[in-house]
């Protein structure tokens, strides 16, 4: 019984951390419009966010498997394990989605500031901006 309680405590702690990270990513996405300059000129932030998404996706898949193990074990059927895992799986999904939104918002923000996103009607003007 102690192992079950410890597992639930660990899963709840993980859910709280993932929830905090998801909220941070969501709030950061909301304030991007207030930033004047380019955020990720070299693409490193976007690359790291994509890696973070991949890690969260791997965690999500592990959590689903662990929840299935709990479902398959008759001794764990009414102990709260399934509910704890279901909650942390949902929060991991939220974090993955919020990281994706943040990555896209940064890329769109920078694209809007890019000289190449400007519409050109004159080839000389385009070449002049590319040379700058």
pLDDT in tens, 12-67: 999 999 999 999 999 999 999 889 999 999 999 999 999 999 999 999 999 999 99
Which 3 state secondary structure label does DSSP give 11? helix
Cα-Cα-Cα-Cα dihedral sign, residues 84, 86, 90, 95: positive
What phi, psi does 35 have (nearest 5°)?
Answer: -90, 130
Give the domain ranges of the chain. 2-131
Closest C-alpha among 87, 30, 77, 21 to residue 49:
21
Of residues 92 and 1, which shows the higher confidence score?
92
The whole-number pLDDT of residue 70 equals: 79
């Amino acid at each position: 019984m102690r192992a079950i309680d410890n597992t639930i405590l660990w899963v709840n702690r993980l859910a709280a951390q993932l929830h905090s990270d998801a909220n941070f990513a969501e709030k950061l996405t909301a304030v991007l419009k207030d930033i004047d300059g380019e955020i990720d000129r070299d693409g490193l932030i976007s690359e790291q966010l994509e890696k973070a998404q991949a890690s969260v996706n791997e965690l999500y898949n592990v959590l689903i498997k662990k929840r299935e193990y709990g479902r398959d074990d008759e001794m764990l059927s009414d102990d709260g394990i399934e509910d704890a895992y279901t909650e942390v799986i949902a929060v991991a999904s939220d974090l993955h989605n919020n990281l994706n939104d943040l990555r896209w918002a940064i890329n769109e923000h920078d694209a809007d500031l890019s000289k190449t996103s400007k519409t050109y009607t004159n080839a000389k003007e385009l070449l002049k901006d590319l040379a700058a």
